[in-house]
Chain A
Amino acid sequence: AQKITQTQPGMFVQEKEAVTLDCTYDTSDPSYGLFWYKQPSSGEMIFLIYQGSYDQQNATEGRYSLNFQKARKSANLVISASQLGDSAMYFCAMSRTDYKLSFGAGTTVTVRA
């Protein structure tokens, strides 16, 4: 069975600093995808970044990067130069062989001015 674990329920970060959100996963599938989504207080789910299990390089999208360590089964999200608008809940998710997503419980990030 696939499982996503986010161990940090909440984090505080100073504006302009970097923050790392932890995500570990468990799967027996040889091919899978890892995703991060952002959910601001308004409620919508915003796709941030994707990492394929066979990708050799870590994914990056603007200020977001995914630190993928396949042997450790971790897919941590790094947000660089935090902004006030980054305050939100962040979800790690993994695609399964049937293309459905499994979500972690989320991490709340609060950016302080």
Chain B
Amino acid sequence: DADVTQTPRNRITKTGKRIMLECSQTKGHDRMYWYRQDPGLGLQLIYYSFDVKDINKGEISDGYSVSRQAQAKFSLSLESAIPNQTALYFCATSDNMREGGDTQYFGPGTRLTVL
């Protein structure tokens, strides 16, 4: 079984709809992240959480919100989806074990299309 899972894997929705993307991990990591990737581009950080009570905005948090329900679960919500939120969304985890930077392990991604 995958260590980091994301649901759904694909989603098509309409402008104005609320949508939630879910992430679960069995790696036991405290740190979790949400990224988006636009076609042909690198990843941009939306939100990150270093533990259940610590949630922080990333580079492109406008239009998004998150919830850290437990150490293992981190959800991303689009309150009112718009077409330019069409992208590939990744969840990632890391373990805070190394000075100089944790290795982040990514889920399989969710392809979101907003019509």
**Hey, which bits of chain A sit against chain B, CB under 8 A?**
4, 31-33, 35, 37, 43-47, 50, 52-54, 91, 93-96, 99-101, 103-106
* Closest-CB distance, B15 to chain A (whole angstroms): 24
- Is B114 positioned at the interface, with any CB of A under 8 Å from its CB? no
- Of B31, B33, B42, B104, the residue contacting A47 (CB under 8 A) is B104
The interface residues of chain A lying within 8 Å CB-to-CB of B102 are 33, 95, 99
Question: Contact: A100 with B45, CB < 8 Å?
Answer: yes
23 pairs of residues in contact across A and B, judged by CB atoms under 8 Å = A31-B100, A32-B100, A32-B101, A35-B103, A43-B108, A44-B107, A44-B108, A45-B106, A46-B106, A52-B99, A93-B42, A95-B101, A99-B31, A99-B50, A99-B94, A99-B102, A100-B33, A100-B48, A100-B58, A101-B104, A103-B42, A106-B41, A106-B42
